[in-house]
């Protein structure tokens, strides 16, 4: 067809985007690996190539271990709670009642707030004389140091991240629920299936695509968690709440070890890549089709 | 057999429970904003519980926040960066998607796979080399340093959304225009582009929310005080030791106010854009 050669001429339209990707993604990608082989401090003109030293340190440095475990907790913890709450909220809002639209708007609202500002707003809740401890006192408890204990701090950070972004999962599940034809439920009713049976036999399997989408977004987002940690603990106390993302920041600007920071960057890349591939493998071809 | 009366009654009870539960969840979601508000309208001497709104609100904190943090300048910086980044993502995204969707040659399939794989690269893992590169080009603390970074990391999704949409536009439309003597560029500009308005709205919303709320890139690439964006200004309010937390609260609320208002006015489009971006 004549149009074919015509479209070939149109290829020029993606050249500017490709150039941007080469400069800002491909070149930095290789540059990152090169920096990871040096002992560069981030600003000096002098540095040495140190071979695999930084990569070896990834396996021996205790802080990397902590940050890696935390990163997995942030990722999987947030993902788990976002699925449970997101689906529950979606089921609640799927049936009509007065104020339903307003409720959807409000539950989704925190998604619009910058995560770092949300983190800072939470300081008023979790500080020693903060709003949460007022509630604890109301029930006769002693004030809790929400961010001084590593385990509790990680739980608090996961909770904040979950509550802020649960609206995304809710919207995805709502879209999924609205895509299930009503006739399936009608047919099941006629066959005598109860509400619970309808939920497990119709709703759950047909929500599978929504589940895949939501889990993928939440997990990849959670593994990259940075803003809220930076706002509330900056990785502390000590190194106990760092994620890999915040550790890159503190290694580069705090410890001025650009070489090692670049190596952690490469590690984060590999982790995200592994989980992207795993998600693809786990979820592939498991969709059900009711016809 | 249950009577219709009792079925109706149990439906009403269920509905009431739904309303109560939804109300509770909404209140829970608003707690951080509410607490920040009560703090923001109290003077530093007020030691009352953060749950209580004072009888006489202390609005002075808002004036102090505006003056001390140079918030207006930060607002302007954020606006400029967001608008230009979003405009570029729309233009480059739509343009790149057109040949990729219409001409699935082997080369273009390769290009598409390359762009898709960029989506998987976490920007965070490239922060160190990006920073080094921008230092080298004297682009730290400039608009033209941070804008390409926003563009590059929002562009792959935009290209993907546009390409998916163009595939649903019948190719006969292009062919008819060709017979009428249109060039490929005017087919794209005059026929395809106007048809893509719904996707453009979604792309604009996704990109501008990301750029407006960004903290990570800005933290690295905007270091001069005069170049601060809103998230950085708020962070410095909270980061300073000895700073008045009540003024910081006022500043935080001022910073999120614009996007809250836009979201509440256009929430239908925001939700639609989000779903389209997620499902791809």
Report the complex ipTM. Answer: 0.91
Q: Most confidently modeled of A70-84, A87-101, B217-231? A: A70-84
Domain ranges in chain B are 4-58, 68-279
Query: Residue A288: pLDDT above 60?
Result: no
pLDDT tens-digit map of B8-22: 888 888 889 999 999
Instruction: For residue A210, give the chain B residue with the closest CA.
Output: B279
Please judge whether A21 and B114 are an interchain contact, meaning their C-beta atoms are less than 8 angstroms apart.
yes
Buried b (16+ CB within 10 A) or exposed e, B161-199: bbbebbeeeeeeebeebbeeebebeebbeeebbeebeeb
Please judge whether A114 and B35 are an interchain contact, meaning their C-beta atoms are less than 8 angstroms apart.
no
Closest of A231, A274, A230, A275 to residue A248, by C-alpha: A230
Q: A266: which chain B residues are within 8 Å (Cβ-Cβ)?
A: 125
Please judge whether B267 and A105 are an interchain contact, meaning their C-beta atoms are less than 8 angstroms apart.
yes
Average pLDDT over residues A37-59: 87
Listing DSSP states for chain A in one string gives -HHHHHHHHHGGGGHHHHHHHIIIIIHHHHHHHHHHTB---SS-S---B-TTHHHHHHHH-HHHHHHHHHHHHHHHHHHHHHHHHHHHHHHHHHS--TTHHHHHHHHHGGGGS-HHHHHHHHHHHHSTTSHHHHHHHHTTPPPP-TTTSHHHHHHHHHHHHHHHHHHHHHHHHHHHHHTS-HHHHHHHHHTT--HHHHIIIIIHHHTHHHHHHHHHHHHHHHHT--HHHHHHTTT-STTTT--HHHHHHIIIIIS--HHHHHHHHHHHHHHHHHHHHHHHHHHTT------
pLDDT at A103: 93
Task: Kindly state the tokens that stand for A19.
Answer: 């150039």
Interface test with A, best of B128, B145, B229, B278 (most A CBs within 10 A): B128
**CB neighbour class for B106 (10 Å; exposed up to 12, middle 13-18, buried from 19):** exposed
Average pLDDT over residues B29-40: 95
Query: Residue A284: pLDDT above 70?
Result: yes
pLDDT at B40: 93
The pLDDT mean for chain A works out to 90
pLDDT tens-digit map of B99-115: 999 888 899 999 988 99
Confidence of residue B154 (pLDDT cuts 50, 70, 90): very high
Average pLDDT over residues A103-123: 94
> Among all chains, which residue has been given the structure tokens 């920073």?
B131
Confidence of residue B27 (pLDDT cuts 50, 70, 90): very high
State the smallest CA–CA distance between residue B120 and chain A in angstroms: 7
The residue with greater pLDDT, A220 or B275, is: A220
B160 touches A at CB < 8 Å:
no
Instruction: For residue B111, give the chain A residue with the closest CA.
Output: A18
Confidence of residue B209 (pLDDT cuts 50, 70, 90): very high
- For chain A, domains (ranges, CATH) are 62-283 (1.10.3720.10)
B115 touches A at CB < 8 Å:
yes
Please judge whether A116 and B231 are an interchain contact, meaning their C-beta atoms are less than 8 angstroms apart.
yes
Average pLDDT over residues B151-155: 94
Pairwise CA distance, residues B66 & A290, whole Å: 58
pLDDT at A191: 86
When mean pLDDT is compared across A39-53, A228-242, A262-276, B245-259, the lowest value belongs to A39-53
pLDDT tens-digit map of B39-54: 999 988 888 888 988 8
pLDDT at A286: 62
Closest of A252, A283, A282, A279 to residue A265, by C-alpha: A252
When mean pLDDT is compared across A4-8, A128-132, A170-174, A255-259, the lowest value belongs to A4-8
pLDDT at A265: 92
Average pLDDT over residues A12-25: 93
Average pLDDT over residues A19-36: 92
3-state secondary structure string across B61-90: HHHHHHHHCCHHHHHHHHHHHHHHHHHHHH
Confirm if A206 and A288 have CB atoms less than 8 A apart. Answer: yes
pLDDT at A2: 54
pLDDT at B280: 57
Average pLDDT over residues B85-105: 93
B279 touches A at CB < 8 Å:
yes
> Among all chains, which residue has been given the structure tokens 């800005």?
B218
Q: B184: which chain A residues are within 8 Å (Cβ-Cβ)?
A: 6-7, 9-10
pLDDT at B176: 85
Pairwise CA distance, residues B22 & A89, whole Å: 8
Size of interface A-B (CB pairs under 8 A): 264
Query: Residue A287: pLDDT above 80?
Result: no
Interface test with B, best of A4, A7, A274 (most B CBs within 10 A): A7
Average pLDDT over residues B120-143: 87
State the smallest CA–CA distance between residue B189 and chain A in angstroms: 12
B140 touches A at CB < 8 Å:
no
pLDDT at B1: 54
When mean pLDDT is compared across A210-224, A268-282, B177-191, the lowest value belongs to B177-191
pLDDT at A275: 92
pLDDT at A285: 65
Dihedral sign for Cα atoms in the order B201, B202, B206, B209: positive
pLDDT tens-digit map of B211-237: 999 999 999 899 898 999 999 999 988
pLDDT at A283: 85
Pairwise CA distance, residues B85 & B146, whole Å: 9
The residue with greater pLDDT, A71 or A197, is: A71
B179 touches A at CB < 8 Å:
no
* CATH 1.10.3720.10, applies to B68-279: yes
pLDDT at B46: 82
Q: How far is CA A267 from the centre of its chain?
A: 17
Please judge whether A213 and B128 are an interchain contact, meaning their C-beta atoms are less than 8 angstroms apart.
no
Query: Residue A1: pLDDT above 60?
Result: no
């Amino acid at each position: 067809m004549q149009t074919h050669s015509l479209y070939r001429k149109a290829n020029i339209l993606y050249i500017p985007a490709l150039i941007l990707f080469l400069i800002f993604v491909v070149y930095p990608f290789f540059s990152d690996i090169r920096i990871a082989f040096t002992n560069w401090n981030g600003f000096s003109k002098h540095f040495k190539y140190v071979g695999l030293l930084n990569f070896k340190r990834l396996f021996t440095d205790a802080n990397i271990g902590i940050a890696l475990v935390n990163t997995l907790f942030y990722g999987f913890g947030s993902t788990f709670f976002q699925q449970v709450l997101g689906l529950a909220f979606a089921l609640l809002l799927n049936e009509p009642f007065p104020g339903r639209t307003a409720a959807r708007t409000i539950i989704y609202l925190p998604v619009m707030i910058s995560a770092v500002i949300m983190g800072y707003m939470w300081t008023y809740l979790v500080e020693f004389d903060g709003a949460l401890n007022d509630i604890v006192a109301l029930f006769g408890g002693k004030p809790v140091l929400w961010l001084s204990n590593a385990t509790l701090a990680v739980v608090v950070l996961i909770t904040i991240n979950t509550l802020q972004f649960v609206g995304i999962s809710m919207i995805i599940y709502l879209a999924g629920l609205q895509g299930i034809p009503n006739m399936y439920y009608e047919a099941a009713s006629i066959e005598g299936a109860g509400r619970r049976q309808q939920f497990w036999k119709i709703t759950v399997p047909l929500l599978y695509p929504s589940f895949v989408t939501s889990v993928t977004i939440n997990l990849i987002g959670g593994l990259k968690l940075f803003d809220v940690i930076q706002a509330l603990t900056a990785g502390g106390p000590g190194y106990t709440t760092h994620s890999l993302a915040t550790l890159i920041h503190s290694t580069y600007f705090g410890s001025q070890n650009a070489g090692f920071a670049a190596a952690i960057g490469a590690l984060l890349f590999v982790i995200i890549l592994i989980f992207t591939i795993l998600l693809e493998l786990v979820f592939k071809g498991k969709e059900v089709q009711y016809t | 057999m249950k009577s219709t009366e009792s079925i109706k009654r149990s439906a009403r009870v269920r509905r009431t429970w739904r309303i109560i539960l939804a109300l509770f969840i909404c209140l829970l979601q608003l707690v951080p904003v509410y607490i920040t508000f009560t703090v923001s309208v109290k003077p530093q001497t007020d030691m009352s519980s953060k749950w209580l709104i004072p009888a006489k609100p202390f609005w002075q904190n808002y004036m102090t926040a505006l003056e001390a943090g140079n918030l207006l300048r930060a607002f302007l910086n954020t606006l400029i960066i967001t608008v230009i980044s979003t405009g570029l993502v729309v233009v480059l995204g739509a343009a790149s998607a057109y040949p990729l969707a219409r001409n699935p040659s082997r080369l273009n399939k390769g290009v598409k796979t390359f762009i898709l794989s960029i989506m998987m690269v976490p920007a965070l893992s490239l922060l160190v080399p990006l920073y080094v590169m921008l230092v080298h080009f004297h682009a730290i603390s400039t608009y033209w340093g941070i804008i390409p970074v926003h563009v590059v990391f929002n562009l792959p999704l935009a290209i993907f959304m546009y390409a998916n949409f163009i595939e649903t536009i019948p190719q006969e439309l292009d062919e008819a225009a060709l017979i009428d003597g249109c060039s490929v560029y005017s087919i794209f500009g005059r026929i395809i582009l106007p048809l893509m308005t719904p996707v453009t709205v979604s792309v604009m919303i996704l990109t501008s929310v990301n750029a407006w709320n960004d903290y990570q890139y800005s933290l690295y690439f905007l270091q001069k005080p005069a170049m601060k964006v809103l998230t950085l200004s708020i962070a410095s309010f909270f980061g300073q030791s000895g700073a008045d937390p009540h003024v910081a609260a006022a500043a935080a609320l001022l910073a999120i106010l614009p996007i809250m208002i836009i979201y509440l006015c256009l929430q239908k489009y925001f939700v639609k854009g989000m779903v389209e971006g997620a499902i791809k």
